[in-house]
Structure 1
């Protein structure tokens, strides 16, 4: 894992590269490359995980001097790829960086299609006069870029701070702010900044430097969804066991100690069980919990799992003071406001784990491909309700006085006939009407971003709407919400976080299974839980899902005074953009019994983010 920075016609010094030092404190390197009429500069801060020797130093140049590479991530099938390369290559060491360099030399940038790993990279070919940047298929590793056609300049990096420092601009996009309020994140390529973009998951960008002006194009290398397989249930479970075992084994590849981020749920438990069995030694596990009696606390459940598996268990508990006190710092680290309250406990969890290990495995990423969220069941249920009954049922639920946010979102989605809009409504944070009331701007980007991946993945090949929704969530909200904050926060503590549940071979297999193998009206992750029965006792598998949440619903009601003092101040940058009476209404709804914790958390995130922007 590393922090990477590359530019074309934009000089940078050590102070700018130092902005990424937390991502790689073990080594640092830079390279200046003359390409035609341009100057390419590469920089990298290294977190040494595989091949701790100087042989893994970056930027890495080919022996012939034609090619250069900077890379952040882990390539779990790099030994397999190395075996496919010519046998006469003289390797300096055993790092995956060197494998990637030679593989791209042999196969071009299209070679990333065969990479099973998490990565963001920049690849320079001096003779072809090109710079190419690429991001892994699920966007586990972030990659941002600034491209000025007018000034013939390019900069790309693992985080936005260096790009903002180099570009000298920070104009905020109101349309992207509306999308953030709708989705709880900004889907690639948008950020809140007008001049900074994100590379989409499963895409690369090709920059041609042969002419006077740099020419750019974006290329998707993602495969469409695989054909559906017909298997017996026993065969489906058996193959699943093989795939998930291989995934965990691949991701234990490391020259440093590997630990486990352990919740009370089945996902991290099965990853931990397999990791212990494969490694053949006790592993360290880390859990965050909450002071006081809160249903979201997972420490007791995680402790039972740790004892069962023989894990060395480390625990950190936090309270509301810790939560609100660290929120500003978490917004700074993540660089983009989000509505996901688990950002804060992840901060303390990563801080704890980094005191003991350099790499952790997590159970994150199982819910989207395996159908673990309620909205997928709601979509299945909708398909069983006659069309003429959907609108009346929605009306009845809205007038019933129900205050459960999940039920109300599901009711709104039930009556929506346009599929793209329905998928958005099923997971939206603020409604279109609320967004207009809050900032006076419509969200016009969300549908475009969903449609893009819908077509790219050939989602129409799936019969069930739930499967289409799961495929989209796996490439959209995972990349730019859950995986984004996990990467930023863990790397803030120089900690590498790996996600075995998003192993490419495993997900391809999962997405080839019929929906009935993954989801029904009683629950989701069916094949996953059936396999878990071979490894874990029923009491762990059948635990009620807590979903790594925080007790913010309770905390926000108790700390309403502090929240109002921030959000309702007319003198703040936030108060100059948001309609404060509309904000007051959201806070009042939470106090009256509606659960608006996500909405309040997102507004607080935006408040702190705006306070950090230069005048």
Structure 2
């Protein structure tokens, strides 16, 4: 797991100092090694940079990697899981490898097969591949967006990097997108090509960008979940296919030259992963779970410990206090990079910190609910579905409500932002509208989450919180073959009137107790509502209305009224404003600042 960055400059040389500055902002993603390469031409130049966290080929694998003729150069973030099979095929064709890194397989595959190679790669990856002969650069992102990649056209240059923070010092101005900001407040995150910073875009999941010396950009979509065809299949046949598929997926995912562990919640997906991982490792699996001290909300530590004991895991439970959670907020905001509010980032960062003392690779269960329809929002009653479809057209009654109280939305934010707030559902409506009409309502709901909430919230949380502590996260349920399999299943195999994720639960009964699998879904909750109050709120009321971001985008008097009222009832509104204020300080006002592991969040307002 690594960080990549670079530039394409028209009519002049890439400045090595600026390239070094970009990569320096990514050292948390790869603290073990750094590499640069610049290719100069009369028409322009190409620069690539890499920071490395060594997982495969520890002794070799320094990047950039070149082929024998030095026509191609690559820097890669992530893992190509099927690299042994592809390497054997490429060597049989006469390709000569210089090291044992999985990243070189992506280079050699492109040299052999051109852009058809991208769809042959299994894994999570974002890479930049430079072709000296054609004087072009390819930026390629994995199918589901597990690994991040951003790009910006700035005057005579194209900039790219794994995280926004590497691009910000190179931008001529840091202006916010109203649409993305509104989506943050109402959806927890922004979705689509455009980011919160005007002029910086995401390379989309399943996309490859070709950039030439004249800065022309061609976009190629090499994979889409829209190509999945629903099918009629029996439970028995689906189970037989799943046995074979998940066996192959796990054999590929456990490939590592360093030990791995697992984030274990009290839910289904991580329990299934523990059962599967136990089949591939003779030593006890290292597992980590989190709970909270002095709160009324029940956590998942007991359920996690029970599953860990069942599989003989070497288990580490962690119980966080209110202070420990709140003091991680500045680091969470910095780590998340993109502007997003997901309470689960707080415990995930604490888990990553604990795991980093022992391991460099952690598995987690993201994607299981999207692949196999685990969320309650996927199976609303008929009356609810019809009402929401009529009341909120465009997405079949799915994802219709914003995160914040409607009464406060009109009061809290400046008039300039109100049109964008009213249009916050645009990404969900766009995703819904592109789904095939022969898909079921359930499949359309799954797809909408797969292209919005999954890459722009859950996978951001998983990648950034772990990489903040130089830990690689692996998510087998987000393997494109698992997503394709789950999306294609008939509705009746995935959901019942009382439960979601029926197929995977029935399959997992061979490993996991029935009562654990079929208990109501709780999610990865954080007791923020219980904790907001007292001296913290008084300090927030003093500082937040005076914050630069709040004064620019909000009505300070309304913010004061919010903080003087029922703070428990409006914890989402309060937390969203506070997190935005901290993000603005870190990324807009002082983009070179890096908070330590624990800080007083009030000091960052």
Give the TM-score of the pair, scaled to structure 2: 0.90
- Give the deviation of 1:34 after TM superposition: 2.0
- Give the deviation of 1:231 after TM superposition: 1.6
- Give the deviation of 1:563 after TM superposition: 6.6
Q: Which residue of 2 aligns with 1:160?
A: 164
> Distance between the aligned counterparts of 1:372 and 1:581, measured in 2?
41
Distance 1:287 1:541, change over 3 A: same
What CA deviation, in whole Å up to 9, does each residue of 1:83-123 have, x standing for no partner?
A: 33251222223221111100011222342122221111111
Q: Which residue of 1 aligns with 2:599?
A: none
> Distance between the aligned counterparts of 2:188 and 2:159, measured in 1?
27
Q: Which runs of 5+ in 1 are unaligned?
A: 391-412
Q: Which residue of 2 aligns with 1:80?
A: 85
> Distance between the aligned counterparts of 1:565 and 1:129, measured in 2?
55
Contact 1:342 1:549 in 2 (8 A): yes
Which of 470, 475, 484 aligns to 2:460? It is 484
Q: Quick check: 9-18 or 334-343, which moved more?
A: 9-18
> Distance between the aligned counterparts of 1:433 and 1:39, measured in 2?
53
Which of 467, 473, 479 aligns to 2:443? It is 467
> Distance between the aligned counterparts of 2:554 and 2:95, measured in 1?
59
Three-state SS of the structure 1 residue aligned to 2:211 is strand
Does residue 603 in structure 1 map to residue 577 in structure 2? yes
Count of matched residue pairs: 577
Which of 125, 128, 142 aligns to 1:119? It is 125
Distance 1:140 1:558, change over 3 A: farther
Does residue 551 in structure 1 map to residue 527 in structure 2? yes
Q: Which residue of 2 aligns with 1:137?
A: 143
Does residue 241 in structure 1 map to residue 212 in structure 2? no
What CA deviation, in whole Å up to 9, does each residue of 1:309-331 have, x standing for no partner?
A: 10001122211111221111211
> Distance between the aligned counterparts of 1:563 and 1:478, measured in 2?
35
Contact 1:518 1:525 in 2 (8 A): yes
> Distance between the aligned counterparts of 1:455 and 1:421, measured in 2?
9
Does residue 4 in structure 1 map to residue 9 in structure 2? no
- Give the deviation of 1:531 after TM superposition: 0.8
The two structures, once aligned, show a CA RMSD in angstroms of 2.3
What CA deviation, in whole Å up to 9, does each residue of 1:183-212 have, x standing for no partner?
A: 210113122211221111111211122xxx
Three-state SS of the structure 1 residue aligned to 2:397 is helix
Contact 2:180 2:191 in 1 (8 A): no
Contact 1:290 1:318 in 2 (8 A): yes
Three-state SS of the structure 1 residue aligned to 2:589 is coil
5 Å-filtered alignment, 1:508-527, equals: 508-527=484-503
Q: Which residue of 1 aligns with 2:267?
A: 265
Give the TM-score of the pair, scaled to structure 1: 0.88
What CA deviation, in whole Å up to 9, does each residue of 1:232-288 have, x standing for no partner?
A: 222223322332233222211100001111111111011011101122321111112
Which of 403, 415, 420 aligns to 2:395? It is 420
5 Å-filtered alignment, 1:53-452, equals: 53-54=59-60, 56-87=61-92, 88-148=94-154, 151-209=155-213, 213-223=214-224, 224-378=226-380, 381-382=381-382, 390=387, 413=388, 415-416=390-391, 418-420=393-395, 422-426=397-401, 428-430=402-404, 434-437=408-411, 438-440=413-415, 441=417, 442-443=419-420, 446-452=424-430
- Give the deviation of 1:222 after TM superposition: 2.0
Q: Which residue of 2 aligns with 1:565?
A: 541
Does residue 536 in structure 1 map to residue 512 in structure 2? yes
Q: Which runs of 5+ in 2 are unaligned?
A: 591-605
> Distance between the aligned counterparts of 1:564 and 1:24, measured in 2?
35
- Give the deviation of 1:15 after TM superposition: 3.7
Distance 1:259 1:608, change over 3 A: same
